[in-house]
Amino acid sequence: MFIRPIAVTDLDTLYQIAVESGPGFTSLMPDRDALARKIEHSIASFEREVTQPGDEHYLFVLEDESTGEIMGTTGIEAAAGRTRPLHHFRRSTVTHHSRDLGLRRNVETLTRCNHYTGCTEICSLYLRPEFRRANAGKLLSRVRFLFMALHPERFSDTVIAEMRGVSDDAGQSPFWSWLKTHFVDMDFASATRLVGSGYTHFIDELMPSHPLYTCLMSAEARAVISQVHERTRPALRLLEAEGFQHKGLVDLFDAGPTVECPLASIRSVRECQAWQVEVDAVPATEFQKRSRERIAMPLLITNTDTAGFRATVLTGADTRPGSDTLCLSPALADQMGLKPGQTCRALPLASSQRDAAPNTYHLRPEIVHAH
């Protein structure tokens, strides 16, 4: 499996993914014309010369090289909220205090805001159920950070991710159900469809601009504030291991949490390394094998291109002792668009135990001698 930028020929599969992902996945809505425009915008973004982030949107697909099937998607919006507002509710606490009566009450509020305008947003991560296999989710999530590390001028200093909030199998959100009853007489799917198509005027027209007291909400609505959909939990755990934190901003429609991290502090950005590529013109000899070392854990590797960007997971990679040389087979080098002497980026994909305790992770991957 390998990552590449989306192409015009991927439209049919992208539409299928938009249908499969269901309501609430607003970055990919089942509208063929809108998806076609999204693909064209992505292609133009990869090809554009960029010195600072603008309206670029980068959409990648994960392809099964043996069948050509698209396994999933992942994306980056370079500067969210500039072409259309990026609305959130901010969770905060208000204290009501009467000194004369000796009474004090702390109450939680939700206040509409546009806090993250201009931040880079990672989005559109979806791994199709039939293709869920080892390292596929990690590849879709972390490849975006390696692309940012390669091209930091294209992105903001702060990276955010809006996590999908709680909704049931029918696509109904308990949080939105309360808002619908009191403010916006529109079903959840229709509201998210409007946002996904780029229409946000109704937010200023109908959504409350004054603080909402959560104690006045239904118990069902309060219970899901800052909670994620059960199918989003693995993605949230990956981001938390990268250093992302929730700081009280939640989605307007399903109250899912938005998490953030400075670009330079993202674990994968800090720990990815440059390697010089060595390609075997013929299968390695026994002497060559004995003079190399085997990298024990899988590596996420990328080339350094933009429009020609490629990434994959390499298991059983070899390196030369004491060097930053990565030995690739001719087939893999060709697939990745890499030639001898060129530079690639690599990131060790740690075990789940190490993911759970990132502070114990060492920069250089564990290496064992090849047999």
Q: How many CB atoms lie within 10 A of CB 226?
A: 18
Residue 346: how many other CB atoms lie within 10 Å: 22
Structure tokens at 106: 């702390």
Q: Return the active site residues.
A: 229
Three-state DSSP at 195 gives helix
188 contacts: CB under 8 Å, gap ≥ 6: 23, 24, 167, 171, 172, 173, 176, 177, 180, 253, 254
Evaluate whether 196 touches 27 at the Cβ level (below 8 Å).
yes
Both tokens of 300, joined, read 């996420």
Residues 6+ apart with CB under 8 A from 154: 50, 53, 56, 78, 148
Q: Which amino acid is at 15?
A: Y
What separation in angstroms does the CA of 220 have from each of 58, 225, 231? 36, 9, 19
